[in-house]
Amino acid sequence: MTFETIQYEESDGYAVLTLNRPERLNAFTGVMHAEIREALDKVAANKANRAMILTGAGRGFCAGQDLNDRVMGDDDAPPPDLGHTLETLYNPLVRTIRALEMPVISAVNGVAAGAGANLALGGDLVMAARSAKFIQAFCRIGLVPDGGGTWLLPNLAGRAKAMAMAMLGEPVSAEEAERIGLIWKVVEDDDLMTEARKLAARLATQPTAGLTAIKQLITAAGSNSLDEQLDLERDTQQRLGRSHDYREGVRAFLGKREPVFKGE
Ligand code: T3D
């Protein structure tokens, strides 16, 4: 299957989705949203996929909404309905990635701005090239961080940093992003995709159902009390305790051999 605005491949137990409008720093258009949606359906439909990498082609990861689609007419022209855009495009995208039953690696190859920054930060394991930067560009055009930004920023980096990033819209370097807990780690530019692929291939051999449950529980912790979280851990562990991969993990440990997980 060929796409116009993204690249999609599957190999070695993982999928790679590359945003591919490098001349516009991979900014989102309606076509790109539709193609990402189609690719994510493919990722989920193929049980052989047990991890996914999200990255960008060229020198940017993603510059957010393509503002060429938002050219303002005269003041009498009806304004765009951005609520509808979020409801139908950005919010489903964020929810779909969060709900994917496998770890999602963001491999941030360059500048990530606006909704592009929050798409990157919404990944489960976020790696960034040393030259990458994160910009909450929304305030520069009178908007609020979307794509989950107002939730992600305070949860990841705390209120003080969230406020400064969202209100000032200044670039945050990959190193600073790692330091403040916004991302997992920085890697050298030339090593980014090698490292991301190595990680995805490793994750693809792991207990995928367990990793998916970790993703769900850590997400739920953002709004749950400790009591609620303890209940959720009990119920999840009860379910996982009946799984193939739990049995295999214990047998392999006791048998002093490498486990062979099925992801179930
Ligand atoms: O509208 C809705 O649906 C609501 C949802 C909104 C979600 C959002 O994401 S709102 C935020 C939108 N994004 C931005 O405001 C970021 C705009 N871009 C920039 O500020 C800068 O381009 C960057 C800081 C990201 C990178 O700067 P730099 O100097 O490295 O690159 P550049 O020269 O500005 O960009 C390179 C080209 O990409 C350039 O085109 P040109 O001049 O070579 O023909 C530039 O216009 C284009 N480009 C970059 N970002 C966008 C874009 N074109 C359209 N839309 C963009 N967002």
- pLDDT by residue (tens digit) across 42-95? 999 999 999 999 999 999 999 999 999 887 777 778 888 999 999 999 999 999
- From the CB of 63, is ligand 1 less than 6 Å away? yes
Say if CB 54 and CB 105 are below 8 A apart.
yes
CA of 95 to the centre of ligand 1 (A): 24
Say how many residues make up the chain: 264
Q: Is residue 216 over pLDDT 90?
A: yes
Per-residue pLDDT, averaged over 218-247, amounts to: 97
Mean pLDDT of the chain: 97
Return the pLDDT at 77: 81
Return the pLDDT at 79: 87
- Low-confidence winner among 50-64, 73-87, 150-164, 212-226 (lowest mean pLDDT): 73-87
Give the separation between CA 170 and CA 120, rounded to whole angstroms.
Answer: 17
CA of 121 to the centre of ligand 1 (A): 18
Give the separation between CA 254 and CA 158, rounded to whole angstroms.
Answer: 42
pTM comes to 0.97
